Every structure is written in structure tokens, then in C-alpha cells.
Amino acid sequence: MYVELKDINKHFGDFHVANNVNFGIEQGSLVALLGPSGSGKTTILRMIAGLENPDSGDIIIDGKRVNNIAPAERGIGFVFQNYALFRYMTVYDNIAFGLELKKMPKDKIKERVNELLALTNLNGLEKRYPNQLSGGQRQRVAFARAIAPNPSLLLLDEPFAAIDAKVRQELRTWLRQMIYKVGITSIFVTHDQDEAVEVADRIIITNKGCIEQIGSPIEIYKTPETPFVTEFIGQSAVIEDYHRLNGFEKGDYKGAVIRPEFVEAFKSDNQKFKNVIDISEEGEITDILFRGNSLELTIDLNGVPITVHRSLERREVRVGEKMRVLIFKLFAFDDEKAYLLENSKLKERNINNEHLESYLYNENTNSFVI
């Protein structure tokens, strides 16, 4: 492990902002710290960087305990949420800043800055000031400045927070490619799950100062371990009386979560689903969002709004329309853990997801029109 946090505790007054935090990060990986606002993400980054001291525990970088090593000596690059570019310095001087601090010879600085301008696609902008740049360009300058001195670890605190959605999407891919190109171990903070899932190799989920789960994006998505992660990840709808749903019996659970990918919604006259209509629920469409390549329906299921995705190839639907809703599975949870429950009636009839997919397939038109 390249970076290790061992039994880290930190209080701000009475507030326990890091509660026995433990994790390790492998060299060369790109890790996301994902959690709601106030869950302690920034504080973890600041402790790694040495800008904040833990009350107890060890911070280890490359096998060495760094608790007592000054921030500037830790070999860390930091990209802050609000860019924190020097306003009165040009792009060139911003990128050169860390190199000048290191007293690198002028010609070497020039070489390195030019290399970074090319890498970050900022050629020609070196004489501009930050207020003459777009948000995306500023963020690239911040990235170039952070990696200029060749840090061995890069920390990024919500690097895209101040950038609008479209550019943000582009920057995510850009950042991922850049980090792999440079080959630098990186930790980035976000509260946006789509961002974490798209960008990171591994995700660490924080909640109220604790680590809830660590895993690959797919593991986090498919096997949430705690009630918090179950609700936090995906477009999850929480339902308390899940046992009233067809095919689900009461267990020692406090509630359950339904994700769009666990649900099929169809019109009651749809012959393809005639074998399962008796084990479906009735719901009513309360909202329809056009998502470009599909529709996102909100369906009211006995007072619980659930999200369902619908292919544009299928028959039109409208707000107020009654739909049948078939739930294949759900995540039930108690106080500590989450459990995947499958629809027992579908199981009894030996119907699995593959069957259901084939219901949707129309061989005549070679498409999924229903």
C-alpha cells in the first residue's frame, strides 16, 4: 500500500470528524472519497496533506510515517475546490510557482512549464491571467500547477465542483486520462456518485466521519454492505413496507431499497408479460423525464415514488397512466447490513432476468419494441 491511514481519529471540539478511519491505497491508483456534505472528506485530505493533524493514528506514505513531517516535505500536490490560482499571476507563473519555490534553474522551469502546457492543452494561454480563462481552463492550470514539481501523490478536493455540467463531464474523462498518463497515485473528493463511478478505480464511502465501504465502483454498486451505502448509491427509492410487495416476505429488516434496474414497468395489455401480470403491482406515472437515449419515469407505487428507465423504442407513455410494475429484487436492510432479496414468486415460476429480457425482444423487428 502506498498511502495508509491507520486508526485515524480527529475531533473539532466535541465533533468527531474522523472516527477510526482506516484505509490503504495502492500505488498508481485513482481513488475517490465519496460521501455527503459534512462527512469529513476534506478533513481526511487535509490530514494526508499535513494541513490538519489527527488526534491519534498513523498516516503512512510510501512506508514512512509522515505525521510529524511538514506539508511541503510530504511530496504531495493539491488541487483545491475553488482552483485557488494566484489571480495576479499569469498561467505560466502559476504553473511555475512550485518549481520556483524549489529553486529550480530558470531554463529547467521553462522546459517543465512548456511540457505541462502541452500536456494540459493550454498552449498559447501562458500569458493570460486566471480571470481571462474559462472554468475548465482554470481547472487544467490548477492541475498543471499541482503536478509541476512531480509530486508522488496528488490530492484533489472536488476539482469539478465549480464547473458547469457539460464541461464537467469532459473534464472527468480528461482527468482520468491525464492521471494515467502521468502515472501518479491520486485521491479525489466528490459528493457526486456518477463522478466517482466514472473516474475512480476504487471508491471509499464516508459518512459522519466513518468509512462505510471500500470497493471498486461495481462492487459498491452491486453489493452495498451497509444501509447507508444502499440508499446513497444508485437512484434508490426507500420503501418500509416492502413485504406488501408481491413476491417479498417479511423478514427482520427495517426497510428496503428499489433501484431502477430491479424493476420492469409495462402496460397491462402487454401480452409479453401475461405470465407475470398477477405478480406485478399497480403504479401510476407521475413524471416523465427525457434522458436523451431513454425516458426516466417516476412511478408512484402505493405512495412510494420509484424510478424506472424506459427505452424510446417502446410504446409511448403519459403522466397519469397506470402501469404494471414487476420487481425482480431489492436490497433489504437492518441497522447494520444490506441483503439482496429476490422475488420469490418469480423464482417459483423459474423466471429469471434473462427470461424477462427475452420477453422484451421482438424477433420480427429485431428490436425491443413493446
Q: Which residues bind ligand ATP (CB under 6 A)?
A: 12, 15, 17, 35, 37-43, 191
Compute the least distance from the CB of residue 153 to ligand ATP, in Å. 18
Compute the least distance from the CB of residue 11 to ligand ATP, in Å. 9
Q: Which stretch binds Mg ion (CB under 5 A): 11-19, 37-45, 177-185, 352-360?
A: 37-45
Q: With CB cut-offs between 5 and 8 Å by kind, which of Mg ion, ligand ATP, none does residue 186 bind?
A: none
Task: Give which of 102, 48, 113 is closest to 74, Cα–Cα.
Answer: 48
Per rule CB under 5 A, is residue 43 in the interface with Mg ion? no
Per rule CB under 5 A, is residue 137 in the interface with Mg ion? no
Per rule CB under 5 A, is residue 42 in the interface with Mg ion? yes
For residues 166-195, which are near Mg ion according to CB under 5 A?
Answer: none
Sheet hosting strand 304-311, strand order edge to edge: 263-266, 322-327, 281-290, 294-301, 304-311
Q: For ligand ATP, give the closer residue by CB, 10 or 138.
A: 10
Compute the least distance from the CB of residue 3 to ligand ATP, in Å. 17
Q: For Mg ion, give the closer residue by CB, 42 or 230.
A: 42
Compute the least distance from the CB of residue 212 to ligand ATP, in Å. 13
- For residues 323 and 283, the answer to whether their CB atoms sit within 8 Å is yes
Q: Which residue is nearest to Mg ion (CB)?
A: 42
Q: For ligand ATP, give the closer residue by CB, 82 or 271.
A: 82
Q: For Mg ion, give the closer residue by CB, 186 or 298.
A: 186
Q: With CB cut-offs between 5 and 8 Å by kind, which of ligand ATP, Mg ion, none does residue 193 bind?
A: none
Q: For Mg ion, give the closer residue by CB, 42 or 236.
A: 42
Q: For ligand ATP, give the closer residue by CB, 37 or 293.
A: 37
Q: For ligand ATP, give the closer residue by CB, 35 or 247.
A: 35
Task: Give which of 105, 115, 202 is closest to 150, Cα–Cα.
Answer: 115
Q: In degrees, to the nearest 5, what angle opens at C-alpha 256 toward C-alphas 251 and 258?
A: 135
Question: How far apart, in whole angstroms, are the C-alpha atoms of residue 21 and residue 7?
Answer: 5
Q: For Mg ion, give the closer residue by CB, 175 or 276.
A: 175
Compute the least distance from the CB of residue 31 to ligand ATP, in Å. 15
Q: Which stretch binds Mg ion (CB under 5 A): 35-43, 62-70, 306-314, 319-327?
A: 35-43
Compute the least distance from the CB of residue 59 to ligand ATP, in Å. 15
Q: Which stretch binds Mg ion (CB under 5 A): 10-18, 40-48, 58-66, 120-128?
A: 40-48
Q: With CB cut-offs between 5 and 8 Å by kind, which of Mg ion, ligand ATP, none does residue 343 bind?
A: none
Per rule CB under 5 A, is residue 39 in the interface with Mg ion? no
Please give the residue ranges that form the binding site for Mg ion (CB under 5 A): 42
